[in-house]
Homo-oligomer: A and B are copies of this chain.
Amino acid sequence: MPKHILNGYRIIDLTHVLAGPSATRLMAEMDAEVIKVEFPPTGDIARLLPTLKNGRSAYYVQQNRGKLSLSLNIKSSEGKKILTKLIKSADVLIENFAPGVIGRLGFSWDVVKEINPSIVMCSLSAFGQEGELSALPGFDYIAQAYSGIMGMIGEKEGAPSFPMAGIGDVMTGVHAFGAIGYALLHREKTGEGQFIDVSLLDCYTHCHEINVAVYSMSEPKTIPTRSGSHHYAVCPLGLFKGKNKYICIIALQMQWASLCKVLERQELENDVRFADNDKRVENAATLIDIIQDWIDSQPDDETVIRALEKERVPCAPVLNIAEVVNHPHLVERGTIRKVQDPKVGEVEMPGMPLRFSSFEHNQELVAAHLGEHNEKVLRDVGYSSEEIEFFKAENTIFSNSNT
């Protein structure tokens, strides 16, 4: 009985750090054979990122559980031959080098499709494979700045703020993961492989809900801007200061009467200053003060949250990381899960975000040390023990059990 949907699929994973590894991590959780190809002698630089314990990075563990590690020098001619054999045997090839690098290594899509016409190849990058920005070095925040998303976060009069989390890389990985799934579906029916170009810039820009159209349709041209902790076009929608934490409160038209009831200010419901969302935005400062005063008058944050919940006014405490990790709902659902690692020990991590009714959620998987599966992988594509010994001696393959 296969453990999950991708049982029997072989993924050659030339990615590093975050966006690419996020995509192939989901595939590993779905039982694919992900062969992570890492350059000697360091491998994926995520192996050096904090927090480390017993020589192993939890960052690496989080993104690479369940993958096989092949540490291969693909700059050498022997390494290229081995990679060619792997590509011939695989369903998917994925890479996130800077655009052009994979071609200079000898594995552009034109070459790869000659080696294996039914393979799905996916390249991830900051700006896409082509265009004037494509040659620039890029990270999550760089693409976030160019997409206009960064400019939409932070106080209006101050510098933008950016999320201390890898949202862009992770969700770009999810875009790639999705695209690869559909390309595999297409291949299942037609036998044809194809190439997929996924970029942080495209994915971030994809997240503009209304900003682009609002600007495009405005006459005269008006530019939507960031507005701190209160929405510029919906009121109330924002953060209020509780005794211990910030509290997010949202009342659209359908929740307005309920909010007035919670505030014990039913007369506001028909107050002309707050007659509809436009009026409430116009008088936002007054309304925000009214809500803040009510919060200040309550004994604690819990009372505030319960009162709003009782009337089904959308609200939430802004949790810190400790509260997230220990929240019963997140723990019971496995949104936060405990992972056992042979070196790091027990550590909490985000759970598998996708829940399929036919398969178990949150598989037990282990991260590999650098080159841990060199022999297994090479044997699988037909190399003999003698050849493997030769590759070792020539430093075509490499391993380090202390990683």
Contact = CB atoms under 8 A, between A and B. Distances in A.
Interface of A: 5-6, 18, 26, 30, 49-51, 53, 58-59, 61-62, 109, 127-128, 130-134, 136-139, 141-155, 158-167, 169-171, 174-175, 177-179, 181-186, 188-189, 192, 194-198, 201-203, 205-218, 221, 223-229, 231-233, 237, 239, 241, 246, 248, 250, 255, 309, 312-325, 327-330, 332-333, 335-336, 344, 347-351, 353-358
B109 A357 contact: yes
Contacts of A163: 149, 152-153, 163
A153 B166 CA distance: 12
Contacts of A154: 154, 161, 229
B166 A207 contact: yes
A183 B324 CA distance: 30
A115 to B, nearest CB: 16
Contact of A215 (B227, B321, B358): B321
A217 B49 CA distance: 14
Contact of A58 (B151, B217, B241, B333): B217
A314 B139 contact: yes
A217 to B, nearest CB: 5
Given A59-B213, A321-B151, A356 B5 contact: no
Closest 5 CB pairs of A and B: A178-B178, A166-B209, A181-B181, A148-B324, A145-B316
A202 B321 contact: no
Given A155-B161, A202-B353, A188 B188 contact: yes
Given A150-B318, A164-B153, A196-B357, A131 B209 contact: no
A189 B102 CA distance: 32
Given A58-B210, A141-B250, A215-B321, A184 B183 contact: no
B239 A160 contact: yes
A159 B213 contact: no
A158 to B, nearest CB: 8
B321 A150 contact: no
Given A161-B228, A162-B153, A167-B207, A347 B217 contact: yes
A209 B321 contact: no
A348 to B, nearest CB: 4
A187 to B, nearest CB: 9
A160 B318 contact: yes
A133 B329 contact: yes
A233 to B, nearest CB: 7
A161 B161 contact: yes
Contacts of A152: 163-165, 321
A371 B44 CA distance: 52
Given A213-B51, A227-B164, A5 B185 contact: yes
A248 B159 CA distance: 11
11 contacts: A5-B186, A143-B316, A159-B228, A161-B229, A166-B207, A175-B353, A182-B356, A201-B329, A202-B333, A214-B321, A223-B322
B164 A196 contact: no
A170 B207 contact: yes
A356 to B, nearest CB: 6
A220 to B, nearest CB: 12
